[in-house]
Chain A
Amino acid sequence: MNQTLPITVTVNKKVYQREVEPRLLLSDFLRHDLGLTGTHVGCEHGVCGACTILFDGESARSCLMFAVQADGHSITTVEGLTKDKDNLHSLQQAFWEAHGLQCGYCTPGILMTLVPFLEQNPDPTEDEIRHALSGNLCRCTGYQHIVDAVKLAVEKMR
């Protein structure tokens, strides 16, 4: 029998208590144990950015952390950006309107990367936007529309 440990984690402002194996990745914990499948799993070695979440408010790869490390911490996933689909976060609304997604696989990671980026830099240049996106891979290569969506979001959030 493998070791399991009790953890208490706040995800999207809701408190969860679970028993986890230490080797359980935070990404798998969110998806399998909590059913929050908005966090996507691409490469599982920190390259693609699909699993990006906010850990205590800062963007991080959830595939490069263990669920046990989240004990006592606060996490925001893409599900935490909005309560329902009629009231999207301005960034989500901009992605919708500017066709910022094709297959959508990379989108949650990109949104969770951009939320803190736009808080720190509310008026970015196109270069800064592209640089901010460099840690997230879009397998459809739809970068131009993603950049357009971010520019639109910047206008909406002004």
Chain B
Amino acid sequence: MKPAPFEYYAPHSLDQALELIRGYADDAKILAGGQSLVPAMNFRVVQPSVLVDINRVPELSYIRGDGDVLRIGAMTRERQLEFDLLIAKRTPLLAEALPFIAHPQIRNRGTIGGSLVNADPAAELPVLMLALNARLKASKVSGERWMEARDFFVGMFTTALEPDEMLVEIELPAMPTRTGWSFMEVAPRAGDYAMMGVAALITLDEKGNCMQAKLVYLNAGDGPVDAQNAASLLQGERLGDALIESSAKLASESEINPFGNIHASVDYQRHLAKVLTQRGLRQAVQRAEGTLQ
């Protein structure tokens, strides 16, 4: 298994990189961490004629606080996110979910931007970006634009990026006060793609009623699946077991659309979704209640 030949460029600045992808557009692939692209090239499922390696563009790798938001450069490695104190403090959901992504050997190379642009429905980061209301910045030679995470993922392995655009920055709002979180997934073995997974966020009001809820699923459709109906069922309510079960039932039976695979049938995926949602919501509620005292 060896990749087909390609022309290789390793720009040293973002401007050079954008110039290259404008020139080659559809023929070029951008090489970030390479943890999904290189296997696909080894299998020759992907055969770009030009590879633009952005590993030598230092200005794309950073995590910094900027007022109420975190700004993360697209080339920031997953392993760096995993141990970042700002992320742990402001978006603990992300910090908790990162160790579920593959293995440390993969996270040492894999980047946040690479995973988002790959838009694998079974990947964790797209789900987390949706759950955390991230905004994504795309640049091209002639300008830049911002997109909401929910508008970025348009389908199976497909994003709203144009061929001459590159994802350069992720803007993450801090989780609101009185918010509890949970990330759970079930994989055949640690580090494998999960058969089902869910990110849950619950924000309580001062009286302890649910002000806002979010449930986003992986491997549950052709992109990250935001179960808005199941979440809105919780809004304004005191979150007890019965309501949590109704919400989990709604999400798992009618909002997700899993395809099934050799590891899990559709029924099993729905079953996992229901169980994980119940556990996840309970954990999120418990953590949110912990902030009330």
Contact = CB atoms under 8 A, between A and B. Distances in A.
B7 A22 contact: yes
Interface in B29-75: 31, 34-35, 38-39, 41-43, 51, 53, 55
A59 B110 CA distance: 12
B185 to A, nearest CB: 14
B79 interface: yes
B109 A22 contact: no
B157 interface: no
Given A23-B6, A46-B38, A135-B191, A64 B109 contact: yes
B103 interface: yes
A94 interface: no
Contacts of B41: 23
Interface in A8-55: 21-23, 25, 28, 44-46, 49, 52, 55
A65 interface: yes
Interface in A95-153: 113, 117, 131-132, 134-135
Contacts of A49: 103, 105
Contacts of A23: 2-6, 41
B1 A46 contact: no
Given A134-B191, A135-B105, A68 B39 contact: no
Nearest to B105: A59
A5 B105 contact: no
A84 to B, nearest CB: 27
A3 interface: yes
A5 B6 CA distance: 12
A91 interface: no
A45 B34 CA distance: 11
Chain A interface residue number, banded? 20 to 34
A78 interface: no
B51 to A, nearest CB: 7
A65 B6 CA distance: 14
Contact of A64 (B5, B39, B51): B39
Interface in B1-15: 1-8, 10
A58 B82 CA distance: 15
B38 A55 contact: no
A68 B38 contact: no
A65 B2 CA distance: 12
A75 interface: no
Contacts of B102: 135
A58 B106 contact: no
Contacts of A5: 8
B105 A3 contact: no
Contacts of B8: 3, 5, 22, 66, 68
Given A135-B102, A135-B103, A60 B109 contact: yes
Nearest to A46: B39
B108 interface: yes
A25 B38 CA distance: 9
A72 B76 CA distance: 20
Contact of A134 (B2, B53, B189): B189
A62 to B, nearest CB: 10
B285 to A, nearest CB: 27
Nearest to A120: B104
A61 to B, nearest CB: 6
A12 to B, nearest CB: 19
B7 A3 contact: yes
A46 B35 contact: yes
B266 interface: no
A152 B42 CA distance: 37
Given A5-B8, A135-B105, 16 more contacts: A2-B5, A21-B5, A22-B6, A23-B5, A25-B2, A25-B3, A44-B42, A63-B38, A64-B39, A68-B8, A68-B53, A69-B10, A134-B103, A134-B189, A135-B103, A135-B106
The 5 closest A-B pairs by CB, nearest first: A135-B103, A22-B8, A45-B39, A134-B190, A64-B38
16 contacts: A2-B5, A3-B8, A22-B5, A45-B1, A45-B43, A60-B105, A60-B109, A61-B35, A63-B38, A63-B42, A64-B35, A64-B109, A65-B109, A66-B34, A69-B10, A113-B104
